[in-house]
Amino acid sequence: MKLIYTHENVMLVHSAKNILESYNIESVFKNEHSAPSGPNLGINNIFQELWLVRDEDYLRAREIIERELINPEPKAAWVCPQCKEENAGSFDFCWSCQTAKPS
């Protein structure tokens, strides 16, 4: 097994697992190698680790994590086809009229 991702924010590690799962890459959580990350950090700052089940997934998994989690491309703003309002790229529905973002 290979370590693919670790972060003190458990939510990010869970996101990494979900992203990899969407690409059919199996991974498991471990934290047996956690070390205190600083003298002033408490129990909530233990690093969670995400390990790949299959080593051969490593390069692809690394590339996916970097693309989707570490350097996500900013989503482009879009103009609502219904009311012509501009919406932030992260919105899936128009803020003004709730029309779904066109695909």
* Interacting residues with Zn ion (CB under 5 A): 80, 82-83, 85, 94, 96-97, 99
How far apart, in whole angstroms, are the C-alpha atoms of residue 99 and residue 46?
42
CB-nearer residue toward Zn ion: 41 or 83: 83
The H or E element that residue 50 is part of is strand 48-52
CB-nearer residue toward Zn ion: 19 or 80: 80
- Nearest of 60, 59, 72 to residue 12 by alpha carbon: 72
CB-nearer residue toward Zn ion: 20 or 94: 94
- C-beta of 98: minimal distance to Zn ion in Å? 7
